[in-house]
Structure 1
Amino acid sequence: MKNVLLLLTFFLIFSCKEEVKIEAANTDVQGMSATAPEQLGKEIFEGKGNCSACHQPNTKVIGPSISDIAKKYKEQNGNLIAFLKEESAPIVDPSQYEVMRTNFAITKTFSEEELKAVEAYFYSHLK
C-alpha cells in the first residue's frame, strides 16, 4: 500500500511540472506576438501575394524596393493599405502603376489582418 501511495505521489509531482512547462511555452509564444504581423506580412509578400517577383527589400527590380516604398509612404503620410485595395493613387513610382494594377486582383483578396501584416512588413524595413 505504501508503494502505491509513493508511486501515486511521484506521478502527481511530475505531472504538475509538465503543466508548468506547457504554461511557460505558451508565455514565450505570446511574447513573440510583437513580431507576428511582420512575419505574417513576409509570408504573404513572398507567397500568396507573389510580390517578391517585382519587389525586393533594398533593390529596385521591376517595381521599387520595399524600403523605398516604406520610406515614401512614411514621409508622405500615405496609406499603403488603401493603395493595395486600389483606393488611392500611387505615390512612389506612378509610371509603374499599370504594371502594379494587374496585381490588385490578388491584393484585394487579402483580409484586413493580412493587409496590416504586409504593411507592418514594409515598415519593418525602415528600422
Structure 2
Amino acid sequence: MKKIILLISIVSLAIACKKKEAEPFKKKPEPVSEGMQATVKTPEELGESIFTGKGNCTSCHQIDTKTIGPSVHEIAKIYKEQNGDIVKFLKGEGEAIVDPSQFEVMKANFAITKALSDEELKGLEAYIYSK
C-alpha cells in the first residue's frame, strides 16, 4: 500500500513539473533608464501628422494648390494678414475669413477638429504657418 501511495506521489510530481516546463517563456520588459528621452514631436510635426492623418485635411486642402478648399499657403497668408485665430476657427468658434463660400463644406469637418486637443489644434496651426 505504501509503495502504491509513493508511486502515485512520484507520478503526480513528475506531471506537475512537466506542466511548468511546458509554459512559454515570458520575456521580462526592458528597464527604462531615467536618462532616456522619449521621442517628442515638434508642434509642426504633430500638426503635419494630424493634417495628413486623422484630421482628414488633405481631402480638401493641398499645400500650394486650391482644390475643394483653399491652399495651406493661402490660409496661412490670410490668417497672418488679418491676425486671425486658426485654433478658434477649428473649434467652430470663429468666422471663416479665407473662403466663406466654402464654409458649409468645412462645417462637416468640425466634428473631427472639435474632438482634437488644444495641443493638437495648436500643432495644426503651427504646421499651417510653417508652410
Q: Normalising by structure 1, what TM-score? A: 0.72
In structure 2, give the amino acid aligned to 1:36.
Answer: T
User: What residue is the counterpart of 1:41 in the other structure?
Assistant: 47
Q: Structure 2: any 5+ residue segments left out of the alignment?
A: 1-32
Q: In the TM superposition, what is the alpha-carbon distance from 1:50 to its structure 2 partner?
A: 0.7
In structure 2, give the amino acid aligned to 1:60.
Answer: K
User: What residue is the counterpart of 2:67 in the other structure?
Assistant: 61
How many pairs were matched up?
99
- Cα distance in 1, alignment partners of residues 94 and 126 from structure 2: 18
Q: Which has the higher helix share?
A: 1
- Cα distance in 2, alignment partners of residues 86 and 67 from structure 1: 21
Higher CA-based Rg: 2
Q: Which moved more, 1:96-105 or 1:35-44?
A: 35-44
RMSD: 1.9
Runs of 4+ in 1 over 3 A off after TM superposition: none
- Cα distance in 1, alignment partners of residues 80 and 59 from structure 2: 23
In structure 2, give the amino acid aligned to 1:50.
Answer: N
- Cα distance in 2, alignment partners of residues 83 and 94 from structure 1: 12
Q: Structure 1: any 5+ residue segments left out of the alignment?
A: 1-18
Q: How does 1:1-127 map to 2 (within 5 A)?
A: 26=37, 36-125=42-131
Q: In the TM superposition, what is the alpha-carbon distance from 1:85 to its structure 2 partner?
A: 0.5
- Cα distance in 1, alignment partners of residues 107 and 118 from structure 2: 19
- Cα distance in 1, alignment partners of residues 54 and 127 from structure 2: 14
